[in-house]
């Protein structure tokens, strides 16, 4: 059975400017342990899909199941890494941010600290735990967010363009780290991006979205390349071209 199932999910926003159908008839099964990249142009509805899986928003049509039960609200079984880093708590240190979910569950101070240190190490920030978010770089903040989500041991990790605001070099480094962490933990991941190379580098499957209104899943392509992936290899290039051909129409198609 799939870990997460989206069945004919649609979302229509109603506001001052009338109704806007952001997502239409979106169906997808996410298997336990896979790294699924959802790829699409800006405004096609990627964040809307993620927000519904996270439980921040309710679908207008269709339904979303986690382990067979409908998603109704946000919960600790779905960890989210946000696009910006406004989600970190400025008044807590890095280590306290990572241990925040454990604190909510009433875990004792010392256990919490030990576990948080473990994840701090996993995201490569040993020795930086006492710093506050204002003393960390953008890349470090995203690492903290990832560690915070992982420390809570969710069933699935939902990531909304987590590296979108970083420079190209930092982004490549973090992609490598994330790939390594995923290989270590085999956590199920739903990862949103509009960067084809990022998707091909990370994913076991790439879903390409059709642009809105009524954004929906256009095609799903498996990426059967071994990790760590060599970005200059022929096989990587071939996968890149395949995805690129699909998304090309979305970027340049008449509208």
Partner 1 sequence: MTRFTVRTERFATIAGYVAGFVLLFLIWHLAAVYLVKSVLFPPPIPVFDRAVVLIEDNILQEQIVASMRRILQGFLLGSVIGIPIGLAIGSFRIVRWLLEPWTEFFRFIPAVAMITVAVIWFGIGEESKIFLIAYTTVFVVVISTAAGVGAVGRDKIRAAQCLGASRLQVFALVALPATVPYILTGMRLAMANAFVTIVAAELIASNDGLGKLLWDARLFMQVEDIFVALVALGLLGFLTDRVFRLLIRAFAGRFNATV
Ligand X SMILES: Nc1ncnc2c1ncn2[C@@H]1O[C@H](COP(=O)(O)OP(=O)(O)OP(=O)(O)O)[C@@H](O)[C@H]1O
Sites of contact with ligand X (CB under 6 A): 13, 15, 20, 22, 40, 42-48, 194, 212
> Considering just the CA atoms, what is the radius of gyration of the chain in Å?
18
**Residue 130 binds partner 1, judged by CB under 8 A:** no
- With CB atoms as reference, the residue minimizing the distance to Mg ion is 47
The angle that helices 168-185 and 138-151 make with each other, rounded to 10 degrees, is: 20
**Residue 121's Cα: distance from chain center in Å?**
21
Q: Which of 42, 90, 169, 234 binds partner 1 (CB under 8 A)?
A: 90
Q: How far is the CB of 141 from partner 1 (least distance, A)?
A: 12
Kindly tell me which residue out of 9, 35, 47, 175 binds Mg ion, with binding defined by CB under 5 A: 47
How far apart CA 232 and CA 236 sit, in angstroms, is 7
Nearer Cβ to partner 1 (82/210): 82
55, 129, 162, 214: which one contacts partner 1 (CB under 8 A)?
55
Give the span between the Cα atoms of 24 and 218, in whole angstroms: 11
Number of C-beta neighbours around residue 143 at 10 A: 27
Among residues 123 and 206, whose Cβ is nearest to ligand X? 206
212-238 burial, b at 16+ Cβ within 10 Å, e below that, comes to: bebbbbbeebebebeeebeeeeeebee
For partner 1, the binding residue among 46, 78, 194, 229 (CB under 8 A) is 78
Pull the structure tokens for residue 190.
């739903």
Residue nearer to Mg ion on the CB measure, 47 or 188 = 47
Which stretch in 26-34, 40-48, 52-60, 211-219 sits in contact with Mg ion by CB under 5 A? 40-48
Determine the Cα–Cα distance for residues 88 and 100; give it in Å rounded to an integer: 10
Positions that interact with Mg ion (CB under 5 A): 47
Q: Which residues bind partner 1 (CB under 8 A)?
A: 54-56, 73-76, 78-80, 82, 84, 86-91, 100-101, 103-105, 132, 134-135, 148-149, 152, 154
């Amino acid at each position: 059975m799939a870990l997460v199932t989206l069945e004919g999910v649609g979302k229509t926003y109603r506001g001052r400017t009338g109704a806007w159908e952001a997502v239409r008839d979106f169906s997808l099964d996410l298997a336990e342990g896979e790294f699924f990249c959802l790829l699409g142009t800006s405004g096609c509805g990627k964040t809307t899909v993620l927000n519904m899986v996270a439980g921040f928003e309710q679908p207008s049509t269709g339904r979303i199941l986690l382990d067979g039960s409908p998603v109704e609200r946000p919960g600790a079984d779905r960890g989210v890494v946000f696009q910006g880093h406004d989600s970190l708590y400025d008044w807590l240190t890095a280590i306290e941010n990572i241990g925040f979910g454990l604190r909510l569950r009433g875990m004792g101070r010392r256990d919490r600290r030990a576990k948080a240190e473990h994840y701090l190490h996993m995201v490569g920030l040993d020795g930086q735990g006492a710093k506050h978010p204002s003393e960390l770089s953008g890349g470090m903040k995203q690492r903290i967010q990832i560690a915070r989500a992982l420390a809570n041991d969710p069933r699935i990790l939902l990531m909304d363009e987590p590296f979108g605001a970083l420079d190209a070099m930092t982004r490549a480094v973090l992609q490598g780290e994330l790939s390594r962490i995923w290989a270590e933990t085999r956590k199920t991941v739903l990862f949103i991006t509009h960067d084809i190379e990022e998707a091909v580098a990370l994913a076991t499957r790439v879903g390409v979205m059709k642009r809105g209104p009524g954004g929906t899943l256009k095609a799903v392509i498996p990426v059967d390349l071994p990790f760590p992936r060599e970005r200059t290899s022929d096989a990587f290039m071939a996968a890149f071209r395949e995805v690129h051909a699909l998304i090309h129409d979305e970027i340049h198609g008449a509208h």
